[in-house]
Amino acid sequence: MSGKVYFISGANRGIGYDFAKQLSSISSNTVIATARDPASATDLQELAKSNPKVHIVKLDVADEHSFEQLDDQLKNIAANGIDVLISNAGIAQSFQPLLETPKERLVNHFNVNAVGPILLVKALYKYLQKSQTKHIAFISSLAGSINDFVPFSTSAYGQSKAALNYAIKEFSFELESEGFTVVALHPGVVSTDMNINAFQYFKENKPEVLELMKDYESLTPEESAKRLLKTITTLSKESNGKFFDENGKEVSY
């Protein structure tokens, strides 16, 4: 897990922050961590102050113009390329039935969770090309699985992750001949701010969902990141196009 340049989107908190923290604990690594508003990303700012190889970059994956500003921010810190892209930024704000989900929420989730990661790969493609590693890990979710459909409403969230999963499979096919390894990762049931809001919604509106979820292990962001990094740092050509859970087990799209 040493000597690489990592780019992590959505690193201001939760799993993304713990990716940055754990990867930067290895002195030979360089970590490029994004936040929509770097000034308010206090934990990330403290991490960067204590480690000169952590670089904070401003990026809002919901704003296509934000990607146009990446080159100016990366020209000095990623001049020799990016080895591993961890596409982590996403939202989960919709768990009601489809008939109750407004169009705006559907579109917003699709833009952030599916279109945003595609635009991110397009923006960083030339940096990844420079590397011998060329690994892309997308943080997806089993909520977007078709074959292993989760039997409760995730509406806009699940649909957007299903769209992301298709993009991951397409990237794995299109970039394979160039030496890329592209994978999807399910982070597990994690106690992030995003998921805590979902749990509260289920508690108030769909208690039967919490009953279904009780058998799933609840992870802290730190533990989820630690487990996922075991997979991310041991990827091989044979991993390309696969979907792994938080324990490194291959799961179905």
Mind telling me the catalytic residues?
A: 157, 161
**124/73 Cα distance (integer angstroms):** 12
How far is residue 101 from each of residues 3, 71, 95, 109, 196, measured CA to CA in Å? 45, 37, 8, 11, 20
DSSP 123-182: HHHHHHHT-SS-EEEEE--GGG-STT--SS--HHHHHHHHHHHHHHHHHHHHSGGGT-EE
The b/e string for 59-97 (b: 16+ C-beta within 10 A; e otherwise) is bbbbeeebbeebeebbeebbeebbbbbbbbbbbbebbbe
Beta-carbon-side half-sphere exposure of residue 8 (alpha carbons within 13 Å): 29
